[in-house]
Amino acid sequence: MIRFTLSCKDGHRFESWFASNSAFDSLSAAGHVTCAVCGSTQVEKSLMAPAVRTDEEDRKRPSLSAALSPQEQAAADLRRKVEENADYVGLSFAKEARAIHDGDAPARAIYGEAKLDEARKLLEDGIPVAPLPFMPKAKTN
């Protein structure tokens, strides 16, 4: 996974995670990357510095109970909404998304995991999918 700092035509800056640079390029070309603020599909990568952490920075790192940045809060809110309103289908995401699209499964919101080539094939077939800026929580029995 790679995190990009993005900006839209109106200058809104935000971050998002992608499987790779080429994943961003193909999703952007298909109009599936939108501004987190205004919804514009005219989004491009911004210049960004690599995040390199030292041991001293690790010691100064805020605890999990510290206040979240606006981007972290937005990601946390998105995660909560997705988990409350969609069914987790795990590694069967591509199969289930195609079944819903074809009318072979009940229409509903789903999320899960798919290989890049599976996601690309769904997009090529006109089935809308988008990457989430978080990994699903591990499901336990």
Angle at 78 between CA 62 and CA 9, to 5 degrees: 95
Distance (Å, whole) CA 112 – CA 89: 5
Do 80 and 95 contact (CB within 8 A), yes or no? no
Answer whether residue 58 is part of any domain: no
Tokens of 56: 């001293």
**CA separation for the pair 75, 11 (Å, rounded):** 20
> Are residues 127 and 82 part of one domain?
yes
| Cα pseudo-dihedral 100, 124, 119, 96, rounded to 10 | 10
**Separation CA 14–CA 27 (nearest Å):** 16
In a domain, 63, yes or no: no
CA dihedral sign, ordered 55, 14, 22, 116: positive
Count structural domains, the chain.
2
Q: What does the DSSP assignment read for 80-106?
A: HHHHHHSEEEETTHHHHHHHHHHTSS-
130 in a structural domain: yes
- Domain range holding 39? 1-46
Check whether residue 74 and residue 41 sit in a common domain.
no
42 and 74 fall within a common domain:
no
Query: Which is nearest to 123 in space by CA: 42, 56, 28?
Result: 28
Question: pLDDT 10s per residue in the chain (141 long)?
Answer: 788 889 999 888 888 888 888 888 888 888 888 887 888 899 998 866 666 666 665 555 555 545 778 888 888 889 899 999 999 999 999 999 999 999 999 999 999 999 999 999 999 999 999 888 887 776 654
Same domain, 73 and 130: yes
- The answer to whether residues 75 and 123 belong to one domain is yes
Residues 32 and 76 grouped into a single domain: no
Q: Is residue 28 part of a domain?
A: yes
Same domain, 127 and 91: yes
Instruction: Note whether residue 55 is domain-resident.
Output: no
